Amino acid sequence: MPSVVLKQFTAGMLSQGTERGQRLAHPRVRRYNAVARIIKTLSSGEFFEIDMDFEFSEDQKMLQMMVRDFAAKELEPVAAQIDAEARFPAENIKKAAALGLFGIGFPEEYGGSGGGAMEKVIVNEELSRVCASTSIIINGSMGLAGYPLYKYGNEEQRRRFVVPIAKGEKLACFALTESGAGSDIAALETTATQHKNGYILNGTKIFISEGSEAEIILVFATIDKSLRHRGITGFIVERGTPGFSVGRIENKMGIRASPTAELIFEDCFVPAKNRLGNEGQGFRIALDAIDACRTDVAAIAVGIAQGAFDKALAYAQERKQFGQPIANFQAIQWMLADMATQIEAARLLTYRAAYHQDKGLPFLKESCMAKLFAAEAAMFVTSKAIQIHGGYGYMKEYHIERYFRDARILGIFEGTDEMQRLTIARQLLRGS
Ligand SMILES: Cc1cc2nc3c(=O)[nH]c(=O)nc-3n(C[C@H](O)[C@H](O)[C@H](O)COP(=O)(O)OP(=O)(O)OC[C@H]3O[C@@H](n4cnc5c(N)ncnc54)[C@H](O)[C@@H]3O)c2cc1C
């Protein structure tokens, strides 16, 4: 991560009154010193070696500490309340923007903070240990929506849309899913009909994270349904555009502070300059965005699992039954051991996927494995964390049930567990 990033992070941190001494004194800095040498074979039969070194650089450790402090000071006090009220945490999103968290992965000239996949993993894990909703809000904007706008946008689109997204001044959302097009994206029915110097959009998107808050909407529509995926095209719609409206807001099981909305396009005119990429390129753009952000979802799963585990470990040592802490019972120790093992395995898969991404290596299979395993690990760990808490774990007061509810989405959105398995199997059968 370039030093300019660090300066921005440090400046943001100090503006929030965080002392350097406090940061460095934090008790738990995770270290991965292991260097694994792996010989991989490409489908071409060619060999290449990967030295995977997961030891964080000084900049990455600083980033981890900074986000951990931010999560403890700003997110922890409100996480349960915004969940209960299903309230978008506008204030904390502004603070996250001031820290540069929306800018990771974007170059400085477009308002970014630099960094890459590993930095995003660090941020997502730390935020999700405390409040997965906040992490999902940031990711949806800078990742699923921001990344394709940067990668496929022309210079004018980058200036108009990517810069405010990277600075966290404007929130963006990614609108792909429809009632008849979930896993089968190519079945989408929102239409884009050419009209004068642009297109008229008609259709309804469902389950769009931050759809009700976003000012920039990346929406996918078809220019010709008979072309199936080859007709899908991406468009950028700005909030306030006539013909665009927000419909129903879902009442959800988890990640309740991240609003999930229906978006309605009724004769909504979009100028040609707001088309992203070429006509028919939308399917590739959407898949590319989902691929690029999959490791972030894995990191969110690791964070949720770690947060639940930390609470369970502490509770097991405090709670007494039969005259002793329940941590003395082997049944509880086994649960803790299994939980910790799942988390470490999920984290290593996640770091491996991020490492591949940052090195420009193939990462499709790796990121699918990371998301699949980490999502299932998060369910396992959060369920066991409730078990260790006994009846108190079932009560809202102990906050552990929120982790369980939040974890459930990870095997559904951005590709279900089944779709991850399908992709992994396809990669294996291709020899990747
Ligand atoms: C809280 C939340 C937030 C979301 N945010 C967004 C967002 O910001 N933007 C967006 O565009 N979408 C978003 N989504 C939509 C999400 O990506 C879809 O829900 C998801 O892709 C699954 O689609 P579906 O719900 O239609 O399920 P379906 O595709 O109908 O799947 C139902 C079941 O069938 C299985 N299945 C389907 N096809 C196959 C197959 N070929 N082989 C084996 N099993 C299969 C699935 O794995 C699943 O178990 C969000 C969803 C939720 C719940």
Q: Write out the DSSP string of 146-198.
A: HHHHHHH--HHHIIIIIHHHHTTSS-EEEE--BTTBSS-GGG---EEEEETTE
The 10 Å Cβ neighbour count of residue 155 is 8
> Cβ neighbours of residue 309 under 8 Å, at least 6 residues apart?
336, 339, 340, 343, 381, 385
- Given a cut of 70, whether residue 429 has pLDDT beyond it is yes
Do 110 and 158 meet the contact criterion of CB atoms below 8 Å apart? yes
Judged by average pLDDT, the poorest of 18-22, 56-60, 75-79, 88-92 is 18-22
Percent of the chain with pLDDT over 70: 88
Give the separation between CA 269 and CA 305, rounded to whole angstroms.
Answer: 44
**Which atom of ligand 1 is least distant from the CA of 252?**
1
Over 80: is that where the pLDDT of 388 sits? yes
Q: What percent of the chain has pLDDT over 90?
A: 86
Confidence at 50, pLDDT banded by 50, 70, 90: low
Q: How much is the pLDDT for 7?
A: 43
The architecture in CATH of the region 172-282 reads Beta Barrel (2.40)
What are residue 196's phi and psi, to 5 degrees?
Answer: 45, -125
Q: Is residue 186 within 8 Å of 221, Cβ to Cβ?
A: no
Instruction: State the architecture of 3-166 in CATH terms.
Output: Orthogonal Bundle (1.10)
Separation of first and last alpha carbons in the chain: 30
Which amino acid residue places its CA nearest to atom 7 of ligand 1? 208
Instruction: Give residue 409 CA to ligand 1 midpoint distance, Å.
Output: 10
Could you check whether 172-282 and 284-429 share the same CATH topology? Answer: no
Give the tokens for residue 315: 């509770």
pLDDT at residue 202 tops 80: yes
Which mutation among 135, 137, 207, 210 tests ligand 1's pocket best, with the greatest number of atoms within 8 A of CB?
207
- Is 344 annotated in the active site? no
Max CA distance (Å), the chain = 79
Helix, strand, coil % (nearest 5) of the chain? 55, 20, 25
Let me know: does 103 contact 168? Beta carbons within 8 Å.
yes
User: In 3D, which of 53, 27, 23, 28 has the Cα closest to residue 38?
Assistant: 53
Which residue minimizes the CA distance to atom 45 of ligand 1? Answer: 418
The ligand 1 site (C-beta within 6 Å) comprises 140, 173-177, 182-183, 207-209, 252, 260, 409, 412-414, 416, 418-419, 422
Q: What is the pLDDT of residues 12-29, one digit of tens each?
A: 443 443 333 333 333 333
Atom of ligand 1 nearest to the CA of 250: 1
Please tell me the distance from the alpha carbon of residue 320 to that of residue 310, in angstroms, as a whole number: 18
Going from N- to C-terminal start, the domains of the chain cover 3-166, 172-282, 284-429
CATH 3.30.1330.30 fits 284-429, yes or no: no
